[in-house]
Each structure stands twice: as structure tokens, then as C-alpha cells.
Amino acid sequence: MFAFAADPDYLTETRRLMADAQAAFERGDLAGSVDGFVHVARRHPAIAGGWVQAAAAGLRAGVSSLALTAARRAMLIDPASPSAAALLTVASTAEPLAGRHRATALWALTHPDKAEALGALASSYQELGQSREAERAARDALHADPSMAWVRVNLAVILRESGREVGAETELRRAVIAEPGANLAWRRMAGFAETLSKLELAGGAARRALVIDAEDHVSAVFLSIVERRQSDLESARQRLQALPEALEGEAGRDAVEFELGTVLDRLGRYGEAWAHFERGNEIAVQRAPSGTADPRLFVNTLNAYAGAVSNGWPARWTPLLEAEPPAVFMIGFPRSGTTLLDQILDAHPDAGVIEEQPVLSSVGAGFAALGEGTLAERLAALTEADANRLRAEYRAKLARWAGEEGSRPRVVIDKMPLNIVYLPLALRLYPNAKVILSLRHPCDCCLSCFMQSIKLNSAMASFTSMEGAAGFYARVMALWQEIERTLSPDHITVRYEDLVADTEGTARRVTDFLDLDWTDAVLDHTAHAKARGMIRTPSFRQVSEPIYTRAVGRWARYWDQMSPYLDTLAPYAAHFGYGDPRAIPRGEDDSES
């Protein structure tokens, strides 16, 4: 400590300055309060308390940079100060994720007996995607204080993401018992139960949340989804239309627009429905984090792989030793029925489907991004050592989701629709791999993508307009046609329309192709989907219901809106046996074609 700190007059003046700063705060002069506390801190720069006061004043005044600097100074002087650690955590909220996490971890490490700090650490680990560490911190927090409902809600989210739905539901029930008057746990219960098709539980929880807070718009959206799924379409429509125009956060206005469009579609009000889907996509693009709604990155990768199988490049591939394919590849354009088919196949005791996880896609994207020369040149010149390295990488990623060899099902299916793009690499590494291609009428595929509220990324960004969806379909399926022509993959084609019209016959074709014995278990896919728990695709609601045909030929009900894009899609409709969509009269479906 500096010598002048012991000077009585100096200390008296410090106390006066402290009192003045506090008085400024009490009369609402936040700027004056900040200046006063900073002045005190600078008079005693080696004492943590002054910097703590300055940090608190900075937070109150909204001067986050000052608060962060002062909190860091306090922690350097006194790392054991609980106030300094807590203030550092709060002041770091505007910092990048890594910086926020360091501040939160410091708080928790210096106060391991403080339940709130451990709960915050669990949330920080969740943000980082470190679920194991997040779960451990959350359980430590609840061991210290079992009454913290918000930590139980976060733990439930962690458990659900790792596929432990029973544990997640248990934690949510404990959360509503611990804090029955807070709507967060009820809202989470509503969303959780709806994704598991427990509609009575979901509806009851959403209504309870709305009793607690009538302005809980997220719970209102959940309740409208439950009402739609229970065929109470008018109640769902009225509830959605009563929501305010300005909505942000967990369920923004885009979610409301998509859901309202879906309800109006079910009511047969197609022109109104289309307008809401358009608006939902526009808002989703506006709300998307910077760069996530730009399709160019994925399209560039697509073009690179298309170039690798065009202009005779496969004929120049250096020979590689045969390698046993560890998985079957299920591909298709999004919304082509892959999720329904994967639930049917996953119900087979000798088959397991990896549902839209970054297995082949991460290996394929990494290979496209790294290396000298064009992708076509690198794929052609692939050495045995490079191929073995890529196969090892693929097997390691496969093991994460399917289990180690010896403990996984006999047939593992790597299902990701847009793996069409990475199929040239997969067939380079495993020429004998089996491929399941899911097809659906191109117009229905694109319309369904356009109607769907999805988390935007470069691969999904094309679906925010019908022009983008149709153009993207043409690029993707042109690549498939070139793969089929040049690489002749061992494949089977499954049309969605056949799957819903003759589920058993179509399923028998696929199980024969995969050398699986027939079992009637695959026909009870609805029960399997519910027992399986969380399904990680936008189609989770549909596959938890009995098979229906209302989505077959839906595009013709939107003929006027779809007509500008029919020239783009017609060649592919004809190629895949659907006929020319331009010949379909307005409002009449082509489900018999």
C-alpha cells in the first residue's frame, strides 16, 4: 500500500469523495457517480474495494468498457474478492464468448461453494458447446443449492441435447416444483413435450406459463403448435394473429409467420399462407447473425465437387486399394422424405441411422477447404496414405455417433440429405458403398423447404426464397445426375410418394437392398419415433404422426406462386418420372403421376 494511504487527511478526503459519489448515484446522476468512484479508485490504486465500486458504478451507468477494466483491476489486486469476480462476469457479457467464459470460470473457481457462480459456469459451458463440462457444473450447482430452478432448466436442455429425454423431463418437473410461479420452466416443459409429441403435457404447460405471464409470447406459439397438431386450427390461427407485430428473442416474428402460414395452409387459404411464408423468410434473413444467411460458401463447395466429376476427371483418378465401406449413405434433397425413411429403417433391430450429424459432411467440407490445387486435381491424385487418413477420420467421426465397431448395429446408415455434395469423396474412398437416394416431386421439395422455419446456415440459406430454392435444387440434382453417370454408385431410389402410398412394399425393397431380413417392426415407425426421443430434423412432428398423403402434390395448390420457377424444375421432374409440372392444371395435384 502506498504511504499516503495512512495520512488521516487523505483518508478523510477519500471518505468525502465516496459519500459524494454515493449521493450522486442516489439522486440519479449516474455519470457523476461513475466519475466519483473512479476518482476514489485512482486515489488508492492498490486497494481492490475502490475498483469494485468503480466497476459497479460503470455497470449501473451502462459504461461496460469502464466496468470491465475496473473489475479486472480489482481481480488482479484481490483474486479472492467475490464482488470483483461477480462484477467481472457481468461486465464481460459484451465480450466475445471466450472472454466471457474466462471471467465466469474465474468467478466459479475462486468461489466453488457459491451455487450461483457454478450455475453461471454451466451456462457458459453450454454456450461453448461443451456439454459434459456444462452438466458437471450444473450438478455441482444444484448440489450446493437444489432450489435453483433456472439451473435445473439448463440441465434439462443439456440432457435433452444428449438424448436423455427421461432425465430432461425429470429435471423440468423438479424445476416447476422448485419455482411453480416462474414461467421459464413451464415454457421449457411445453417446448420439450411438444417435440416428443406429448401434446397434452405440452398444452397444459404452455397454458400454465400463460396464466403466470399473459405476455409470454413464446408459450403462446408453443400452444398454437399444439392446437394445430390437435386439429384445432381456428384456435391456433386466432392465437397467432393476436400476437404483437414486434417480437424478438426465442420465438421471433419469423416463427409466428411460419406457423401462421402452416395453419392457413391446413385451412386451404393458400394465397394468405404464401404471403406469411414469404414474410417469415424475409424476417429470418434479417434476424440471422452476420454471414449465416449467405449461401455462397456452400454453393462454392458444391461447385468444386461438381467440377471433380465433370470433364472426365474420374477417368484420371489414381487407383486405390479396395476398402470396406463402414456405412450406407442416405442422401436426397431436403424435405424429400429422408426422415420418414430413416425412422422406418432405424426401427429394424439390425440397422441404426445416424440422423443428420456432421460425419461425411465434415470430412468432405474439410477436404474441399484444405490443400493446394483444385479439388478435382486433389481428388484425382489422392494417394493411398491420404485416402487412409481420410478413412480414419471418417471412421472416428462415425464412432462418435454410431459407437465403436463391435457394439454398433450391423448396418449403419449415415443420413444427411445434402451429402449428395460430398458423395464424390465418399465414392472415391469407398467405391462399393451402398447409397439410398430419397426423391420427392421437385416442386413439393422446394415448396416444403420454403415453408419451413429452419436455423439458417450456408447450406440452408437458399431456401429463404422460392427462386433460391429452385435454383439450388437444380444445382444439387444436376450433381447427382453427373455422379450417377460417371461413378455408377450402387444405389436404390425411394420416392416419397411411393413410401406414403405403399409403406410396406417400399420398405421391403430397401431392406432387401441392404441385405436385412424383413421384420414388421419397421412398420411401427411412429411408436419407434416416439420411443427414440428427440429427432434432430425439421420433420420431427410429421414422423411422430401416422403416415399421411396430404403433402403429396401440395405444390399445385400454389400454382400461381410456383409458376415462375417451373421452367427451372421441369427437367428434373421429367427425369425422375414425375412428368412436366407445367402441364398440371392450377389447383390440381399430380399425386397419380
- Distance CA(581)–CA(554), nearest Å, equals 12
Residue where the block lists cell 461438381? 306
119, 417, 461, 462 from 331: Cα distances, Å: 41, 4, 19, 18
Q: Are 398 and 339 in contact (CB under 8 A)?
A: no
- Distance CA(507)–CA(529), nearest Å, equals 16
Q: Mapping DSSP to helix (H, G, I), strand (E, B) and coil, where does residue 435 land?
A: strand
In 400-534, at which residue ranges do the beta strands (DSSP E only) sit? 411-415, 434-439, 490-495
Q: What is the pTM of this model?
A: 0.78
* Per-residue model confidence as pLDDT tens for the chain (593 residues): 344 445 666 667 767 777 877 777 777 777 777 787 777 777 777 677 777 777 787 777 777 777 777 777 776 676 666 676 666 666 666 555 565 566 666 666 666 677 887 888 888 788 778 888 889 989 988 999 999 998 999 899 999 888 888 999 999 999 999 999 988 999 999 999 998 889 999 999 999 999 999 999 999 999 999 999 999 999 999 999 999 988 776 678 899 999 999 999 999 999 999 999 999 999 999 988 887 888 999 999 999 999 999 999 999 999 999 999 999 999 999 999 999 999 999 999 999 999 999 999 999 999 998 888 899 999 999 999 999 999 999 999 999 888 888 889 999 999 999 999 999 999 999 999 999 999 999 999 999 999 999 888 999 999 999 999 999 999 999 999 999 999 999 999 999 999 999 999 999 999 999 999 999 999 986 665 555 555 555 544 554 455 656 678 899 999 999 999 999 999 999 999 999 999 876 655 554 33
- Distance CA(284)–CA(288), nearest Å, equals 6
Q: Are 123 and 103 in contact (CB under 8 A)?
A: no
Bridging pattern class, strands 411-415 and 434-439 = unpaired
Q: Are 250 and 224 in contact (CB under 8 A)?
A: no
Please write down the HEC assignment for all residues of 70-104.
HHHHHHHHCCCCHHHHHHHHHHHHHCCHHHHHHHH
The one-letter code for the residue type at 443 is C
70, 155, 335, 515 from 92: Cα distances, Å: 11, 23, 41, 56
- Distance CA(218)–CA(412), nearest Å, equals 38
Q: What are the strands of the beta sheet with 411-415, ordered from one edge?
A: 351-355, 411-415, 328-332, 434-439, 490-495
